[in-house]
Amino acid sequence: MGMTITEKILAEHAGVKEIYPGQLIKARLDLVMANDVTAPLAIKEFESVGAKQVFDRDRIVLIPSHFAPNRDVKAAEQCKIMREFARKHQITHYYEVGTAGIEHAFMPEQGLVLPGDCLIGADSHTCTAGALGAFATGVGSTDLAAALITGETWFKVPESMKFVFKGKLRNWVCGKDLILYVIGRIGVDGALYKAMEFTGELIRGLPMEDRLTMCNMAIEAGGKSGIVEPDDITLEYVRPRAKREFKLYKSDPDAKYCEVYEFNGEEIEPQVACPHLPENTHPISQVGNIAIDQAVIGSCTNGRISDLRVAAEVLKGRKVHPYVRLIVIPATPEVYRQALKEGLLETFLDAGGAISTPTCGPCFGGHMGVLAEGERAVSTTNRNFIGRMGHPKSEVYLASPAVVAASAVLGRIASPEEMVS
């Protein structure tokens, strides 16, 4: 019996020829990551067991991204714990404010994660890196502490689900719309502890940044991971960035999947996930007249340069609605720099938007755009649970950068087709 790409990567890292879903394995890790929220908990556990050194200072990534730049004294203390640990153990890949970005955008961009890798991160959206053809998943801080010591962790091998996309994308439709459509179809627990494999002619033509967006939100369907088989688009992205060897894996033709879904891209229009779950998804044409108070463009889901370009295309020569706050957050310093070079930041400022340094910020209700009671936001972020972006009586709608930009101008959730032909 053949194996899926996920099973092949896990088998290789477990040192065995074959594995099967449900099997418990111990796997070596190529990369271990934590941020300023999760690292301090892991560091506390690391020190509580008397550990003296990390398994490999070159394979640990520590990034202050959630409450950084520091929101308050508590946030400053959290970042200080991580900073001091990085200095003590001479962690190669510690990135300070000014050089760091949102981890799930930063790591692929910097070539830290590569095809064929097996990595964990103490953050649920670590699954983003699966777009490169890696097995990437989030873990708790206790598991991360053990990995910091041993360079290994345990997994129950997940079953794999295949999502086949055919046809072409409609105008203004992107990877964000595809994954929202999937979540709307299968629900927030439809892929519980499954590896979500995205494939088909549409995916093979999809830019890397859209693939990263899709894998990023696998967790919103309950997935253990998201993954795309590496191809020429992957290699074009990876080769200029890679600083070490990597290996390409592909699923066997006779690999077994617990479920297979097929979708026609030409039938999918821009999507909007309404409160309070990512599965509450509707095509933009059926959303209705919903006024907004805030529009957010950014996050590990949609804060890359292609996202900012699309948003700027919609906003060019227009003004943000007088009753709406537009917040734009480039995901990494490199994205920020490129947006500056291309004049995108000027477009956002001219429209009346506020531009933030790279940070997770409002996505999880941290800072840089927290909502008050009764306020409503449309955002390119990945979750819209009750209280996710602030007050428990606020509302968050999820959409693509194009829809969020159009909504910022019109003051209501809107399609860019209403403004741009």
C-alpha count within 13 angstroms, C-beta hemisphere, residue 221 = 29
pLDDT value for 232: 97
Helix (H, G, I), strand (E, B), or coil: what is residue 375?
coil
Which domain-ending residue is among 206, 233, 263? 263
Task: Match 């394979």 to its residue by tokens.
Answer: 59
- C-alpha 259/C-alpha 43 separation (Å) is 39
pLDDT in tens, 344-382: 999 999 999 999 999 998 888 888 999 999 999 999 999
As a whole number of angstroms, the distance between CA 212 and CA 95 comes to: 21
Averaged confidence pLDDT in the chain: 96
At 140-170, the pLDDT tens digits run 999 999 999 999 999 999 999 999 999 999 9
Of residues 417 and 419, more confidently modeled: 417
Do 116 and 21 reside in the same domain of the chain?
yes
What is the mean predicted confidence (pLDDT) over 303-331?
Answer: 97
Are residue 31 and residue 57 in the same domain, yes or no?
yes
Residues 6 or more apart whose CB falls under 8 angstroms from that of 328 comprise: 297, 298, 308, 311, 345, 348, 353, 354, 355, 356
Q: What is the pLDDT of residue 366?
A: 85
Residues 9 and 99 in one domain: yes
Mean pLDDT for 103-118 is 97
b/e sequence 129-138, b meaning 16+ C-beta within 10 Å: bbbbbbbbbb
Looking at 235, 263, 291, the residue that finishes a domain is 263
Q: Is there a single domain that holds both residue 67 and residue 108?
A: yes
Beta strands 118-121 and 93-94: pairing type? unpaired
| 252 lies in the same domain as 319 | no
Please compute the mean of the pLDDT values over residues 104-119 and round it to a whole number. 97
Question: 396 lies in which domain range?
Answer: 271-418
pLDDT of residue 1: 78
pLDDT at position 421 over 70? no
Determine the average pLDDT of the residues in 280-304: 96
Is 185's pLDDT higher than 90?
A: yes
Name, in order, each residue with C-beta under 8 angstroms of 84's C-beta and a sequence gap of 6 or more: none
| Over residues 374-392, mean pLDDT | 94
How far is 65 from 190, CA to CA, in rounded Å?
29
Mean pLDDT over 54-69 rounds to 95
What pLDDT is stored for residue 420 in this prediction? 67
Token pair 């007050």 in the structure block, residue: 391
Assign 170 to helix, strand or coil: coil
Co-location of 288 and 251 in the same domain: no
Total-model pTM: 0.95
Q: Is residue 219 domain-shared with residue 296, that is, in the same domain?
A: no
**Which pLDDT score is estimated for 367?**
87
pLDDT at residue 387 greater than cutoff 80: yes
Going across the sheet that includes 135-138, the strands are 93-94, 60-63, 31-35, 118-121, 135-138
Neighbours of 14 (CB within 10 A): 21
Q: CATH no. for residue 356?
A: 3.30.499.10
pLDDT for 365: 83
In this prediction, residue 68 carries a pLDDT of 85
Contact partners, residue 59, CB within 8 Å, separation at least 6? 29, 30, 31, 32, 151
Q: Are residues 322 and 356 in the same domain?
A: yes
Q: What pLDDT is stored for residue 220 in this prediction?
A: 96
pLDDT beyond 70 at 54: yes
Instruction: Select from 212, 247, 263 the last residue of a domain.
Output: 263
Structure tokens at 24: 């418990």
Host H or E run for residue 181: helix 175-186
- 243 alpha carbon, distance to own chain's centre: 22
pLDDT band at 394 (very low <50, low <70, confident <90, very high): very high
Same structural domain, 14 and 157: yes
What whole-number distance in Å separates Cα of residue 231 and Cα of residue 135?
16
The dihedrals phi and psi of 291, each to the nearest 5 degrees, come to: -70, 150
